[in-house]
């Protein structure tokens, strides 16, 4: 069930991807960025996991269009509400949200994930879960 959309819930601020390479997240076939912004994180995955399918949900039409143009056929940017995402096939789900929304991720998506899937959350922990690792400002969870 989709949540009401309020773009001011999560302002656009790009992640610092400097330490992403230190994460142990296997060899993902499908990476989903919920709120993909300018595509910075997906570009990092494109460069580091060239065989992975990459999907971004981005509600802001301008950012969705611009990042789709930049990523061309290496990723699919959906100009859609991320709360409607189907994460059942995802191997890695990337989040850069806000503290007050993190329980919403757990309630809405955790049961959808397949066993072994990783969730990488930048800056904000998911209160209901214990991370398997914390690397710099990344919290890593595994289903
Ligand atoms: C903090 S930025 C993160 C961008 C990117 N994931 C990164 O880490 O560099 C969050 C993005 O989520 C988008 N967003 C917020 N609510 C959304 C929603 N309900 N569905 C899709 N995108 C959303 C915002 O427009 C913004 O671009």
Note whether residue 136 is domain-resident: yes
With respect to residue 15, please indicate whether it lies within any of the assigned structural domains: no
Alpha-carbon Rg of the chain, whole angstroms? 14
Instruction: With respect to residue 64, please indicate whether it lies within any of the assigned structural domains.
Output: yes
**Spatial contact of 19 and 138, defined as CB atoms under 8 Å apart:** yes
- Mean residue pLDDT across the chain: 95
CB within 6 Å of ligand 1 — which residues?
5, 7, 9-10, 12-15, 33, 35-37, 40-41, 57-60, 63, 81-83, 96, 122
Residue 134 phi, psi dihedral angles, 5° rounding: -135, 120
How far, in Å, CA of 53 to CA of 51, rounded? 7
The total number of structural domains in the chain stands at 1
Structural domain range at position 72:
26-142
Residue 5 lies in a domain: no
- Enter the tokens of residue 41: 């994180």
The CATH number of whichever domain residue 32 belongs to comes to: 3.40.50.150
Asked if residue 138 belongs to a domain, the reply is yes
Structural domain includes residue 104: yes
21-80 pLDDT, tens per residue? 999 999 999 999 999 999 999 999 999 999 999 999 999 999 999 999 999 999 999 999
d(Cα 79, Cα 36) in Å, to the nearest integer? 10
Which ligand 1 atom minimizes the distance to the CA of 95?
A: 6
pLDDT at 1 > cutoff 60? no
Instruction: Name the residue at shortest CA distance from atom 16 of ligand 1.
Output: 7
Q: What are the residue ranges of helices labelled H in the chain? A: 40-48, 61-71, 102-109
Please report whether residue 19 resides in a domain.
Answer: no
Which segments of 36-101 does DSSP mark as H helices, in order?
A: 40-48, 61-71
- 94 C-alpha to ligand 1 centroid (Å): 11
Q: Is residue 12 part of a domain?
A: no
Ligand 1 atom nearest 98 alpha carbon:
1
Which pTM value belongs to this model?
A: 0.96
Taking the C-alpha atoms of residue 123 and residue 49, their distance in angstroms, rounded to an integer, is: 23
């Amino acid at each position: 069930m989709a949540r009401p959309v309020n773009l001011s819930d999560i302002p656009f601020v790009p992640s610092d991807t400097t330490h992403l390479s230190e994460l142990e997240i296997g060899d993902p076939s499908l990476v989903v960025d919920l709120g993909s912004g300018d595509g910075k994180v997906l570009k990092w995955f494109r460069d580091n996991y060239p065989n992975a399918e990459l999907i971004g949900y981005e509600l802001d039409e301008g950012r969705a269009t611009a990042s789709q143009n930049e990523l061309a056929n290496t990723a699919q940017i959906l100009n859609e509400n991320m709360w409607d995402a189907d994460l059942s096939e995802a191997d890695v789900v990337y989040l850069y949200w806000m503290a007050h929304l993190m329980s919403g991720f757990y309630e809405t998506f955790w049961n959808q994930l397949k066993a072994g899937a990783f969730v990488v959350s930048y800056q904000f922990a998911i209160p209901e879960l214990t991370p398997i690792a914390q690397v710099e400002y990344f919290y890593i969870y595994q289903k």
